[in-house]
């Protein structure tokens, strides 16, 4: 049995859930969720960028920085894709390449926005069902004619 790292997730209604990650993700999760001293927060954007460049492949980094964002395929629904973009703190949801809304979820502890993108990618890749159970879903806005 592999050692695991526990992590808590809290939605906007303050309900939370905890679960474990595989051993190879322990260091990554610990780095993303760790509380930063005040002075370290000033360096947070640079450190988040460096961490993302180490964790994501060159192709994933290029995709993340593109207008469409990094696409993470759903393991639950074959035609669903989650998109993460550097200019957006939530996660955009597409079914059959059609925008169907956004989901919003955040770590229980403060995480700088750059690290939050890494957190979102890992959470969706490893624990999609649990994320969807606590995430806030925001449907598309109705178009005004």
Q: What digits encode the pLDDT tens for the residues 45-69?
A: 788 888 888 888 999 999 999 988 9
The per-residue pLDDT for 105 is: 81
The per-residue pLDDT for 125 is: 87
Q: CA 60, 65, 71, 72: dihedral to nearest 10 degrees? A: 60
91 found inside a domain: yes
| Two tokens, residue 55 | 């964790």
The per-residue pLDDT for 20 is: 61
Instruction: State the residue range of the domain holding 15.
Output: 5-138
Spatial distance between the Cα atoms of 9 and 126, rounded to a whole number of angstroms: 13
Q: Which residues contact 17 (CB under 8 A, 6 or more apart)?
A: 8, 9, 130, 133, 134
Residue 135 parent element (H or E) = none
29 found inside a domain: yes
Residues in the chain predicted with pLDDT less than 70, given as ranges, are 1-42, 142-145
Quote the number of domains for the chain. Answer: 1
144 found inside a domain: no
Spatial distance between the Cα atoms of 103 and 82, rounded to a whole number of angstroms: 9
Q: Are 7 and 22 in contact (CB under 8 A)?
A: no
Q: What percent of the chain has pLDDT over 90?
A: 26
Model's pTM, two decimal places? 0.67
């Amino acid at each position: 049995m592999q050692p695991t790292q526990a992590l808590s997730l809290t939605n906007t209604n303050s309900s939370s859930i905890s679960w474990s990650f595989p051993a190879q993700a322990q260091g990554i999760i610990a780095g993303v969720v760790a509380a930063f001293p005040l002075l370290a927060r000033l360096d947070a954007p640079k450190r988040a960028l460096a961490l993302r460049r180490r964790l994501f492949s060159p192709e994933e980094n290029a995709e993340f920085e593109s207008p469409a964002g990094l696409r993470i395929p759903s393991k639950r629904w074959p035609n669903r894709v989650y998109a993460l973009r550097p200019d957006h703190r939530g996660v955009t949801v597409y079914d059959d390449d059609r925008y169907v809304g956004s989901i919003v979820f955040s770590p229980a502890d403060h995480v700088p926005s750059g690290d939050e993108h890494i957190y979102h990618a890992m959470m969706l890749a490893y624990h999609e069902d649990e994320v969807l159970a606590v995430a806030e879903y925001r449907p598309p806005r109705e178009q005004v004619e």
